[in-house]
Amino acid sequence: MTYNIGLLGLGTVGTGTAEILLNPDGRSPLLRDIRIHRVGVRALNKPRTVDFEPGVLTTNLDAIVADPEIDIIVELIGGVERARELILAAIAHGKHIVTANKAVIARHGDEIFSAAQTAGVYVLLEAAVGGGIPIIQPLKQSLGGNRIERVTGIINGTTNYILTQMQDEGAAFDDVLAEAQALGYAEADPTADVDGFDAADKISILASLAFGGRVRYEDIDRQGIRNISPADITYAQQLGFTIKLLAIAQWSTAQNSLHLRVGPTLVTNHHPLASVNGVFNAILIDADPLGQVMFYGPGAGKGATASAVTADLLNITALLQSEKLEDGLHPLLTCTHTDYCPITPTEAVETRFYARFLCGDRPGVIGHLGTCFGDHNVSLESIVQIGYHQDQAEVVVVTHDVREGDFHAALDAIHGFEEIDDIHIASVFRVL
Amino acid sequence: MTYNIGLLGLGTVGTGTAEILLNPDGRSPLLRDIRIHRVGVRALNKPRTVDFEPGVLTTNLDAIVADPEIDIIVELIGGVERARELILAAIAHGKHIVTANKAVIARHGDEIFSAAQTAGVYVLLEAAVGGGIPIIQPLKQSLGGNRIERVTGIINGTTNYILTQMQDEGAAFDDVLAEAQALGYAEADPTADVDGFDAADKISILASLAFGGRVRYEDIDRQGIRNISPADITYAQQLGFTIKLLAIAQWSTAQNSLHLRVGPTLVTNHHPLASVNGVFNAILIDADPLGQVMFYGPGAGKGATASAVTADLLNITALLQSEKLEDGLHPLLTCTHTDYCPITPTEAVETRFYARFLCGDRPGVIGHLGTCFGDHNVSLESIVQIGYHQDQAEVVVVTHDVREGDFHAALDAIHGFEEIDDIHIASVFRVL
């Protein structure tokens, strides 16, 4: 049996998806059961690289989501408000949804999945996280025997490209950003990427799947990469670390709660995530009893994202062919949880830290720093005067696992002594 | 609705699976719908770490596969003949099958999948390849929009452990093998691992899924790791390569056929597979339009393999809850192909080669080797006198992509001149 899809948006990913569906040779035989019925675009007369039958293209997206002949809506217009409206309308009309839109799911997932549950339809979103890397489906279908302990991801290609270039070329953030913008790897307004919003959207989706509860976007501790200096990258390297923008969702069994964060993080050079470079993404999952698995691949791009969209289309088609929807949806592919995950307060999280200080170069500075940390229960792994910067000594501190609250109390105490002791905090990052 | 399983075998993986099923807290809620009804063991009175209700343990495996109350049989006894017999009997009784047994699937998959198709039951085998790494399910369900070009795997943990140790310690194969046997990483009879049989079983399974056709075990070009010397590892390192036992299934579009091989292969040090060390496994897939994705994790072990077995159990349970089997099985989770993949003859495969020669140290030797390769259309990337061994010069050759047939013709010519020219072929490996 053939199923009709309505494609909303014919940009890069929409075009890539259409190219797969219109050229099924050598791919899954099930693709022949999927037919592009309507494609919603902004303007009909734009030159395009794929050809459709007359009447397929339309600018009336509201008509597509209401079209009784359509079984599955593929939402690829991006953005939040209009996408939310179209997805909810399509669900109300009994359509299954495939989307690559992390923002709309991260911010309105509760509303969308509740509506889908009521309407008895699937909402699949493999393309929303990790581009072409299969990660949503494995989380839903392959790891259910485990207790997930931590999800750690390099899930924003733009920032990973920038950090890789900064490391390889010793260049400053602003210069590499400008270069990335010229190459099309970064947007004209780079905020969503470089300030960690995109990674926060994605980790909230992964966390919700991994830990079986909803996640509020505002519960994510978020820090971008603008404040990473070439000095930090160099010193991190000298200490055996690479700086990556990591998105982490970590379950605390002791506190029975979840901590979510996005921020620049030092990773030891032999860690599998340290060698994930350029625009590649990787997601590492720690689980009991499985251990550690990693999924690695292209985090964006036409073909990669279209591959993920097509995977969802194939899965819905396969289910429609083999199940009776009145008997209920496939329980691993639906989102039934309605409770929110309890959140670990940031100050109670245990992690390691890297901090760089600029100090007047006089005796006792290292001792003073050491004492200050010790007074606040912050145990140090190393404290090294590592270089000079404009006549000031640069001192780098790496801690053992400590409570974030204790670490920040120590920093406040050090900060309080700034004027008398001439110690300035230049940068602070977590260490994995 | 609850489903009853019959577990055949209560060794390491069986015990790990039972531990998950008997302790569902914090795991997939669907686990509560799976009940261990019978467990088939060799002896009832052996001490065990898991407790079952009285009557669950039995030594009568034939009764389990015929038990009308059982829905799913989990085959974990290993081996080939008895496993085949029990699986076929279970299928004939309408049971779904979950197995971790790569050998029985690689050798009798055609018979088993045909029987399953006739009986309308699922045969899932996530645990058969890559231990806890989700790879079978992603191949079936996440990559269907692609044309798969190549599957490249480090899929035998024992040999990867041995090669990692040889590289890290500069030790000889025999010494590291003895150490691995003492640690339990290698079997008393290591043939299945070190001669590449296990990796061949696994690549035949991956290839069959990736390329949608059956594969004959005897069509796999198989070479083990016994002939890798510390000298080769050192020279490979000097040239920027790491030696790995790779299993490769590669589709040739030009020849419209598949080449399958297992053998020691030089991998450039910045390739993602080069840093997969110890008992870890990784599978890299090249696909169009996706690009390159890698799945990495523990290739063996109680918890990892039990995680994969449980994934299959959850998937079958989810399908049984949401589908009507009389409407047909889920098309992505069944194996319907009955044709065999056309095979590329080894001599027609294009690949790069590394070869080490021991030569009398006299003028003209390098020129003679170079001419011999040139005469047979073998284009060289480098030819270097890299060291000395027992008063003989060691010359290492790395080729560009060449036809295997041409390369071996050149080697035959060189071999023919052995006595006159004092050139001996010490080792030959492919280069990725």
Determine whether the interchain pair A322/B307 forms a contact, defined as Cβ–Cβ distance below 8 Å: no
Average of per-residue pLDDT across B124-146? 95
Q: Which residue in chain A is spatially nearest to B133 when comparing CA positions?
A: A293
What is the nearest CA distance from B287 to chain A, expressed in angstroms? 9
3-state secondary structure A142-185: CCCCCEEEEEEEECCHHHHHHHHHHHHHCCCHHHHHHHHHHHCC
Q: Which residue in chain B is spatially nearest to A304 when comparing CA positions?
A: B290
Judged against a pLDDT cut of 70, whether residue B427 lies above it is answered with yes
Average pLDDT, rounded, for chain A: 92
Residues of chain B within CATH 3.30.360.10 domain(s) are: 144-298
Interval B241-258: pLDDT, tens: 999 999 999 999 989 999
Judged against a pLDDT cut of 80, whether residue A421 lies above it is answered with no
Determine whether the interchain pair A293/B291 forms a contact, defined as Cβ–Cβ distance below 8 Å: no
What tokens were used for A415? 């900060």
Residues of chain B within CATH 3.40.50.720 domain(s) are: 3-131+302-327
Q: What percent of chain A has pLDDT over 90?
A: 78
For residue B332, the model assigns a pLDDT of 86
ipTM value, please give it: 0.93
For residue B415, the model assigns a pLDDT of 81
For residue B419, the model assigns a pLDDT of 56
Judged against a pLDDT cut of 90, whether residue A84 lies above it is answered with yes
Residue A294: list chain B partners with CB under 8 A.
294-297
What is the nearest CA distance from A285 to chain B, expressed in angstroms? 10
Q: What angle do CA B188, B191, B197 make, to 5 degrees?
A: 140
What is the nearest CA distance from A263 to chain B, expressed in angstroms? 24
What tokens were used for A58? 């339309």
Band (pLDDT 50/70/90 cuts) for residue B418 is low
Q: What angle do CA A52, A57, A63 make, to 5 degrees?
A: 140
Q: How many CB pairs under 8 A join A and B?
A: 217
Interval A132-191: pLDDT, tens: 999 999 999 999 999 999 999 999 999 999 999 999 999 999 999 999 999 888 889 999
Band (pLDDT 50/70/90 cuts) for residue A40 is very high
Residues of chain A within CATH 3.30.360.10 domain(s) are: 139-298
The whole-angstrom separation of Cα A232 and Cα A357 is 11
Band (pLDDT 50/70/90 cuts) for residue A327 is low
In CATH, the architecture of A139-298 is: 2-Layer Sandwich (3.30)
Residues of chain B within CATH 3.30.70.260 domain(s) are: 347-431
Judged against a pLDDT cut of 70, whether residue A125 lies above it is answered with yes
In CATH, the architecture of B144-298 is: 2-Layer Sandwich (3.30)
Q: What is the CATH number of domain B3-131+302-327?
A: 3.40.50.720
Q: Which residues contact B23 (CB under 8 A, 6 or more apart)?
A: none
Interval B324-363: pLDDT, tens: 666 678 888 887 788 899 999 989 999 999 999 988 867 7
For residue A334, the model assigns a pLDDT of 83
Q: Which of A146, A147, A257, A319 would you mutate first to test chain B, the one with the most B CBs within 10 A?
A: A146
For residue B420, the model assigns a pLDDT of 59
Closest by Cβ to A314, choosing from B145, B292, B310: B145
Interval A210-235: pLDDT, tens: 999 999 888 999 999 999 999 999 99
Q: For domain B347-431, which CATH number applies: 1.10.443.10, 3.30.565.10, 3.30.70.260, 3.10.105.10?
A: 3.30.70.260
The DSSP code sequence of A301-363 is SHHHHHHHHHHHHHHHHHHHHHB-GGG---TTSS----SBPPB--GGG-EEEEEEEEEE-S-T
Least confident piece of the model among A302-306, B80-84, B181-185, B390-394: B390-394
Partners of A221 in the beta sheet?
A261
Q: What Cα–Cα distance (Å) separates residue A364 from each residue in A359, A394, B189?
A: 11, 14, 63
Interval A333-388: pLDDT, tens: 887 788 899 999 989 999 999 999 988 867 778 888 888 999 999 999 999 888 78
Report the length, in residues, of chain B.
432
8 A C-beta contact, residue B34 and residue B309: no
Q: What are phi and psi of A412, to 5 degrees?
A: -60, -40
Determine whether the interchain pair A30/B144 forms a contact, defined as Cβ–Cβ distance below 8 Å: yes
- Ramachandran class of A364: left when φ > 0, alpha when ψ lies in -120 to 50, beta otherwise: left
Handedness of CA A416, A420, A426, A431 (dihedral sign): negative
Determine whether the interchain pair B20/A328 forms a contact, defined as Cβ–Cβ distance below 8 Å: no
A140 is catalytic: no
